[in-house]
Structure 1
């Protein structure tokens, strides 16, 4: 029940936010420490490697998603005209907080 409440509060707060921004860093790995809200794309020599973000439920976990074509599973990332990221497919954590959500135009949409 506590995880459900955290997701609802985080979703409510997102309604008053313009959304997460995409920050591109040089290299093939994510920086440490990670930003609290922004989504980070690691790019090395023009090739996108991975995307990272902190779990939006508030647990603090850093989520790393591969975007290189050879990876399985892999995610696709696009941005809108304001630089807000969209990830496809959804992000589903099978352990820990067990969050399941979409990131669309910089906003979290929880799966129920």
Structure 2
């Protein structure tokens, strides 16, 4: 079992050397009535930008926390599949279910503004 620990430490060091090691990220929620403003704000590293139209949440946008720089766009409309749900309180936003990025392979949860890696 000790070899597993050593292997995980070595992998972590290798990822850090590539500059792609997942970093601690704390997200905050911003709500927009204009999609273009939500997309632009979602390019900020610490923002989950929620686009809401007519009182209904439509999309959320944020930068992938793995460090790849890609913007993640999640559909929040339950009439379309797949869809996610965003809830927020004073601790920060949570996104349900987990996000499994098809572009960079990152798989994570956002709970109370914190990223939890899967």
Q: TM-score, normalised by structure 1?
A: 0.79
Q: Which runs of 5+ in 1 are unaligned?
A: none
Q: Which runs of 5+ in 2 are unaligned?
A: 1-10
Q: CA deviation at 1:28?
A: 4.2
**RMSD between aligned residues:** 2.1
1:56 aligned to 58, 61, 65, which one?
A: 65
Aligned to 1:86: 94
In structure 2, C-alpha distance between the alignment counterparts of 1:74 and 1:110, rounded to whole Å: 20
SS at the partner of 1:32? helix
Give the helix-richer structure, 1 or 2. Answer: 2
How many aligned positions are there?
101
Report 1:38-57 matches (<5 A). 38-57=47-66
Q: Deviations over 1:26-79 (max 9, x none)?
A: 134542362222100001121110011100011110000011120100001111
In structure 2, C-alpha distance between the alignment counterparts of 1:31 and 1:51, rounded to whole Å: 8
Higher relative contact order structure (alpha carbons within 8 Å, sequence separation ≥ 6): 1
Q: Deviations over 1:59-100 (max 9, x none)?
A: 110000011120100001111234x10001100013x32100
In structure 2, C-alpha distance between the alignment counterparts of 1:59 and 1:104, rounded to whole Å: 21
2:33 aligned to 12, 23, 26, which one?
A: 26
CA contact (8 A) 1:28 1:49 kept: no
